[in-house]
Amino acid sequence: MKGKKVKVGIVGVGGIANGKHMPSLAKLDNVEMVAFCDVIKERAEKGAEEYGAPGAKVFTDYRDLIALEDLDVVHVLTPNDDHSPITVAALEAGKHVMCEKPMAINSKEAMAMVEAAERTGKKLTIGYQNRFRADSQYLKNLCDAGELGEVYFAKALAVRRRGVPTWGIFLNEKRQGGGPLIDIGTHALDLTLWLTSNYKPVSVMGVTYRKLADRENAANPWGPWDPKEFTTEDSAFGFVQFDNGMTVILESSWALNTLQVGEAMTVLCGTKAGADMLDGLRINGERFSKLYTTKPAMRGQGVAFYDADDEDPGLEEAKAWIDSIINDTEPLVKPREAYVVTQILEAIYDSAKTGKPVYFNENKGCDKCC
Ligand SMILES: NC(=O)c1ccc[n+]([C@@H]2O[C@H](COP(=O)([O-])OP(=O)(O)OC[C@H]3O[C@@H](n4cnc5c(N)ncnc54)[C@H](O)[C@@H]3O)[C@@H](O)[C@H]2O)c1
């Protein structure tokens, strides 16, 4: 692919397409967006107008888009229940696929995606852009260098005091596969597992709540929700244990009466030091019989007004993804890693339903990459 522009098709031209994928891809010289598909035709047309290469095609059926011969990559940016079928079809049609998070609505559909990528030899990645943040990258370096020692306790945090997404079909249990847990808990869990390189869960306990969802005229940054449409949980919590002894507590909520909020964040506690993202990235430890806390400077290290460090994880994600295609390397977010995240989220939902723990006897999910 070197020296050639990568031809990308967009499926689902809604919020995340306009907010992350299309503006990021538009900044890359080695990419052209040649096809746009949305079940609402005007959205696909608008995408093509604003971001399309000359002659960009517009479709309302993704099957027409993935059938294009002169197309290298498909970005799947639809609601969650369409992630797996569209991704599998695009891989089978010989395209590389970037699919938005969460990978799929359950582990069966996620595994179908993993298997399709492995069968076809095409690349598949998931839109966990938080891995590309400067603080996440720095913390990953610290973890990989062993600076925290053995991390044996972690928290994956995705808690909003109020932040119920009222557009699209986010509140629809059937189409999304769940609420805040699958929507934002997925980012925090992905970050925590990736930082600690830990993909072998052995047991999961979970609880879900639906306590604030029935409110009429609720305070919410995106406007009050309709209780009749709100069919998912409003909070979910998990307790996950791993085969190396690590425990992760996952907290996720779209609406919780708390001032302790934070999203796409992790807290790591290791034998040598700890780290958290609760007030920027902070490292805490003990030296010379004293406790210390440091905050690495994430910005302002360049020349005033010419800083190249204005953080845009969406752009970094797009760059790395397209580079992995051009150079034929593995994307940072690997399918089997996202599969394990999906398995754990599903187990939290299952445990919440039965009131019992879920045990993974043998985790085959990530054998090939971890
Ligand atoms: N990475 C992130 O932080 C992040 C943030 C927001 C959303 N997302 C994910 O992105 C996905 C889309 O979310 P959104 O906020 O853009 O939703 P949205 O409702 O704004 O956009 C989805 C679009 O897909 C279209 N669509 C639905 N079914 C389709 C199909 N079968 N074929 C073609 N188009 C179809 C809809 O008409 C709509 O325009 C979700 O999976 C969501 O979880 C990720």
Per-residue pLDDT of the chain (370 residues; tens, 9 = 90+): 677 899 999 999 999 999 999 999 999 999 999 999 999 999 999 999 999 999 999 999 999 999 999 999 999 999 999 999 999 999 999 999 999 999 999 999 999 999 999 999 999 999 999 999 999 999 999 999 999 999 999 999 999 999 999 998 999 999 999 999 999 999 999 999 999 999 999 999 999 999 999 999 999 999 999 999 999 999 999 999 999 999 999 999 999 999 999 999 999 999 999 999 999 999 999 999 999 999 998 765 555 555 555 579 999 999 999 999 999 999 999 999 999 999 999 999 999 999 999 999 765 444 444 4
Same domain, 177 and 249: yes
Based on its alpha-carbon atoms, the radius of gyration of the chain, rounded to whole angstroms, reads: 21
Same domain, 297 and 177: yes
Instruction: Give the sign of the dihedral formed by CA 176, CA 178, CA 183, CA 187.
Output: negative
Å from CA of 223 to ligand 1 middle: 19
Atom of ligand 1 nearest to the CA of 40: 37
Number of folded domains that form the chain: 2
CATH of the domain at 275: 3.30.360.10
Q: In which domain, by residue range, is 243 found?
A: 131-316+334-359
Same domain, 193 and 296: yes
Q: Are 359 and 202 in contact (CB under 8 A)?
A: yes
- Does ligand 1 come within 6 angstroms of the Cβ of 133? no
pTM above 0.85, yes or no: yes
Same domain, 163 and 244: yes
Last residue of a domain, one of 69, 98, 130: 130
Protein residue with its CA nearest to atom 15 in ligand 1: 15
Same domain, 212 and 354: yes
Last residue of a domain, one of 83, 112, 130: 130
Same domain, 105 and 187: no
Residues 278-307 as b or e (16 or more Cβ within 10 Å = b): eeebbbebeeeeeeeeeeeeeeeeeeeeee
Last residue of a domain, one of 82, 112, 130: 130
Atom of ligand 1 nearest to the CA of 16: 16
Strand order through the sheet with 247-253: 290-294, 282-287, 273-276, 262-270, 151-159, 247-253, 235-242, 201-209, 358-359
Same domain, 124 and 149: no
CATH of the domain at 45: 3.40.50.720
Residues 231-247 as b or e (16 or more Cβ within 10 Å = b): bbbbbbbbbbbbeeebe
Å from CA of 100 to ligand 1 middle: 8
- Does ligand 1 come within 6 angstroms of the Cβ of 285? no
Same domain, 114 and 175: no
Same domain, 217 and 100: no
Atom of ligand 1 nearest to the CA of 183: 43
